[in-house]
Amino acid sequence: MASPDIAASLGLTAQEIDKAERHEANLVDGIWIFIVGDLFIFASYFVTYALWRNWEHGIFLAAQQHLSLGFGLFNTMALLVSSWTLAAALKAMRAGDFDAAGWLTLATMGFGLVFVVSKITEWSVEVSHGFVFTSNMFSQFYFWTTGVHILHVFFGLLALFRLYLEVKDPACRNLATAESAAAFWHMVDLLWLVIFALMYLMR
């Protein structure tokens, strides 16, 4: 907050000082509040899945055979590599190497898009084989959970795009945005690892 003398010398109006005070009062970015809540929400979905898997064990096991382990592994690798490039981008930003940070952020978005294209292709293959949302209870959970996850991937891509714009503009560079976007993206990655383990690996 600017002291009254500084504010007077800058010619700030009372309204502008008030805005500056509000901005400084909100230094905590708040992404962790979102992440903790989102993890709780997803945990409730996973518990529901586990219960239904227990109740309809045979149906779930048979339906899981429709999933391609290859696609699942490829998607997992795409997201893991994207998390690594984003961590490297953050490291470059902290070191003041914004060119590298820009390229690494773009690479992260690229791997995110590879995940999206791969996931949509995987869905298309499954649907073409007659495995659709209404096939059984497992398919409902599968399409729904992966659908919610891809929605998070889209949000993550938007956050990364915003981060890229900030990295390219020296006037807008902000480490708090970078850390928030990275924390969100790693959460998306973590959620996928749980989905991959629950739906593809636990057969």
Partner 1 sequence: MTGAVPPIPSGWFAKMAWHLRHNPKADLWVAWFSIPIAYNIMGIVYFTITHMMPPPDATKNHAQIVEFFTKFGFEIRLGFGIMLVSLAFLVWANDLIGWLIMKMDIPHVKAWGYAYMIAMCGGGFTGAYMSAFTMSVASMRPDRDPAMLEVLYDLTYISFDGTMGFFLFGSLIWTYTILADKSRLFPKWFGYTCIWNFTTEFLVSPAVIVHSGPFSWNGTIAFWIDTVVYILWQIVYVFMLYYAVKRVDPPQDRFRLKRIARLTGQLTPHPA
List contacts with partner 1 (CB under 8 A): 15, 18-19, 22-23, 25-26, 28-31, 33-34, 37-38, 41, 44-45, 48, 52, 133-134, 137, 140-141, 144, 148, 151-152, 155
Task: Write down the least CB distance from residue 134 to partner 1, Å.
Answer: 6
Residue among 196, 15, 76, 53 at smallest CA distance from 136? 53
Residue among 12 and 137 whose Cβ is closer to partner 1: 137
Task: Write down the least CB distance from residue 145 to partner 1, Å.
Answer: 10
Q: Answer yes or no: are the C-beta atoms of 141 and 52 closer than 8 Å.
A: yes
If you write DSSP's letter for every residue of 32-77 in order, what string do you get?
HHHHHHHHHHHHHHHHHHHHHHHHTHHHHHHHHTTS-HHHHHHHHH
Task: Write down the least CB distance from residue 79 to partner 1, Å.
Answer: 19
Residue among 111, 170, 115, 177 at smallest CA distance from 146? 115
Using the Cα atoms of residue 114, residue 119, residue 124 and residue 129 in order, give the sign of their dihedral.
positive
Task: Write down the least CB distance from residue 69 to partner 1, Å.
Answer: 25
Task: Write down the least CB distance from residue 195 to partner 1, Å.
Answer: 15
Residue among 87 and 132 whose Cβ is closer to partner 1: 132
Task: Write down the least CB distance from residue 5 to partner 1, Å.
Answer: 24
Residue among 100 and 135 whose Cβ is closer to partner 1: 135
Q: Residue 113 contacts by C-beta under 8 Å, 6 or more apart in sequence?
A: 157
Q: DSSP assignment, residue 129?
A: T
Residue among 33 and 197 whose Cβ is closer to partner 1: 33
Residue among 19 and 57 whose Cβ is closer to partner 1: 19
In the chain, DSSP finds a helix count (H) and a strand count (E) of 8, 0
Residue among 152 and 168 whose Cβ is closer to partner 1: 152
